[in-house]
């Protein structure tokens, strides 16, 4: 039962263009969402988050959008840089289990020159 889904296993984008990574969830109890970036041989690194009371959060080149009615969130990276090439995980947390994160399967982003 995959409660957090990232349906695109990979994405290739040219340097300078926008990268859009998508995430869908099924559990309506989720109230906080996070994006993590992971390089090979390293643990996931926290990138940006959003509470369910908001629909947008921005941090530099990174913006996360949340559409609660569609149970969908997306991460926009603009402009994309070669150093952004990594695996990106969407994660969610519910009010009832304020500790546990439920992760998607990840999207591998490749930013090409």
Partner 1 sequence: DTGVSQDPRHKITKRGQNVTFRCDPISEHNRLYWYRQTLGQGPEFLTYFQNEAQLEKSRLLSDRFSAERPKGSFSTLEIQRTEQGDSAMYLCASSLLGVGYNEQFFGPGTRLTVL
Residue 62 binds partner 1 (CB under 8 A): no
**Binding string to partner 1 for residues 67 to 96, with x set by CB under 8 A, is what?**
----------------------x-x-----
- Segment near partner 1 (CB under 8 A), from 40-48, 54-62, 63-71, 72-80? 40-48
Contact predicate 57/64, CB 8 Å: yes
| Smallest gap from residue 35 Cβ to partner 1 (A) | 11
Q: Pick from 4, 8, 14: which is nearest to 77 by CA?
A: 14
Residue 106 binds partner 1 (CB under 8 A): yes
Of 86 and 91, CB closest to partner 1: 91
Q: Pick from 17, 43, 9, 1: which is nearest to 113 by CA?
A: 17
Question: 45, 67, 95, 112: which one contacts partner 1 (CB under 8 A)?
Answer: 45
Query: What does the binding site for partner 1 look like in residue numbers (CB under 8 A)?
Result: 4, 32, 34, 36, 41-46, 49, 51, 89, 91, 97-106
């Amino acid at each position: 039962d995959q409660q957090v889904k990232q349906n695109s296993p990979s994405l290739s984008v040219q340097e300078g263009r926008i990268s859009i990574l998508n995430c869908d969830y099924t559990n309506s109890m989720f109230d906080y969402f996070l994006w993590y970036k992971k390089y090979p041989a390293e643990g996931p690194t926290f990138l940006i988050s959003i509470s369910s009371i908001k629909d947008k959060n921005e941090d530099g080149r990174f913006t996360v959008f949340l559409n609660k009615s569609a149970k969908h969130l997306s991460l926009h990276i603009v402009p994309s840089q070669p150093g952004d090439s990594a695996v990106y995980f969407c994660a969610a947390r519910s009010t009832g289990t304020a500790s546990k994160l439920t992760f998607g399967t990840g999207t591998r982003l490749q930013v090409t020159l």
